[in-house]
Amino acid sequence: MCKNIFFDLDGTLIDPRMRLHSLFQELAPESKFSFDEYWKIKRQRINQKKLLTEWFNYPDEKIRKFKRIWMEKVEEPHRLKQDILFGYTKNVLANLSKKYDLYLVTARQFEDRANSQLDDYKIKSFFKKILVTKQKKTKAEMIKNNFSYYSDDIFIGDTGEDVLAGKELGLKTVAVYSGCLSKEILKEYNPDLIVKDVGEFYENSSL
Ligand SMILES: [Mg+2]
């Protein structure tokens, strides 16, 4: 029986796409990508390096600089304010937290900023613990080092890495295509379940 549910943050519980698109435009001013154009490309698992090389001819040195500044800026507090809490998130977390222990596992760099964002959305109290990798550990390592978990527990996220982390731990994996990747790309990682978003997951699950 499922006891613990591990949630990714960006693209799973909140929508960071506006923040990421606007930062891209800022750092690559030659880009004329609209929000939709940018995400249509990104959702095909085109990473930054490939995008900057193939669309804008960036040399390696310029890509390294882009990446460094990206990491410096991407979690600036005023940018995080562009994120949007998905409409179903609060309700789903409130309901699930009555029966299960919920954990948030995010690859954000700044623990304090992630926490204050969750506070702003009033969803922090639904989680038993907030795990922030600070880009120093993998999500699987964070969970392994901190908790007991069971093979019926669930890991929900919007990326291939999330599915692989869940599989590494032997958990049930749920992929949502409300974030970074398309349904077709997520299928390649073979999660136990693929759903549009966390709202649909909750409605259709027997949890
Ligand atoms: Mg994510």
The CATH number assigned to the domain holding 129 equals 3.40.50.1000
**Does residue 84 contact residue 18 with C-beta atoms inside 8 Å?**
yes
Quick check: helix, strand or coil at residue 49? helix
Residues 115 and 58 grouped into a single domain:
no
Residues 138 and 47 grouped into a single domain:
no
| Tokens 């004329």 found at | 32
**Does residue 175 contact residue 158 with C-beta atoms inside 8 Å?**
yes
Tabulate helix, strand, coil % of the chain (nearest 5). Answer: 50, 15, 35
Quick check: helix, strand or coil at residue 65? helix
Rounded to the nearest angstrom, the distance between the alpha carbon of 11 and the centre of ligand 1 is 5
pLDDT of residue 5: 98
Residues 100 and 143 grouped into a single domain:
yes
Q: What backbone torsions phi and psi does residue 132 show, to the nearest 5 degrees? A: -115, 120
pLDDT of residue 1: 83
Rounded to the nearest angstrom, the distance between the alpha carbon of 171 and the centre of ligand 1 is 17
**Does residue 75 contact residue 110 with C-beta atoms inside 8 Å?**
yes
pLDDT of residue 98: 97
Rounded to the nearest angstrom, the distance between the alpha carbon of 170 and the centre of ligand 1 is 19
Q: Is the pTM of this model over 0.75?
A: yes
Residues 29 and 100 grouped into a single domain:
no
pLDDT of residue 30: 95
pLDDT of residue 125: 98
Split into its structural domains, the chain has a count of 2
Q: Which residues surround ligand 1, an ion (CB under 5 A)?
A: 8, 10-11, 158
Residues 183 and 131 grouped into a single domain:
yes
pLDDT of residue 2: 87
Q: What angle do CA 162, 167, 171 make, to 5 degrees?
A: 100
Rounded to the nearest angstrom, the distance between the alpha carbon of 43 and the centre of ligand 1 is 12
End-of-domain residue from the set 64, 80, 96: 80
Residues 97 and 198 grouped into a single domain:
yes
- C-alpha span between 108 and 10 (Å, rounded): 9
The region, left, alpha or beta by phi > 0 then psi within -120 to 50, assigned to residue 91 is: alpha
pLDDT 10s per residue in the chain (207 long)?
Answer: 889 999 999 999 999 999 999 999 999 999 999 999 999 999 999 999 999 999 999 999 999 999 999 999 999 999 999 999 999 999 999 999 999 999 999 999 999 999 999 999 999 999 999 999 999 999 999 999 888 899 999 999 999 999 999 999 999 999 999 999 999 999 999 999 999 999 999 998 888
Rounded to the nearest angstrom, the distance between the alpha carbon of 133 and the centre of ligand 1 is 13
- Cα–Cα distance list, 31 to 21, 25, 51, 193, 194 (Å): 11, 6, 10, 35, 32
Residues 27 and 8 grouped into a single domain:
no
Rounded to the nearest angstrom, the distance between the alpha carbon of 81 and the centre of ligand 1 is 17
Rounded to the nearest angstrom, the distance between the alpha carbon of 178 and the centre of ligand 1 is 9
Residues 64 and 105 grouped into a single domain:
no
- C-alpha span between 20 and 23 (Å, rounded): 5
Residues 24 and 91 grouped into a single domain:
no
Residues 47 and 100 grouped into a single domain:
no
| Tokens at 49, concatenated | 């390096």
pLDDT of residue 79: 98
Give me the domain span that covers residue 55. 17-80
Residues 54 and 150 grouped into a single domain:
no
Rounded to the nearest angstrom, the distance between the alpha carbon of 141 and the centre of ligand 1 is 17
What is the dihedral angle through the alpha carbons of 85, 90, 93, 95, rounded to the nearest 10 degrees? -160
Residues 51 and 94 grouped into a single domain:
no
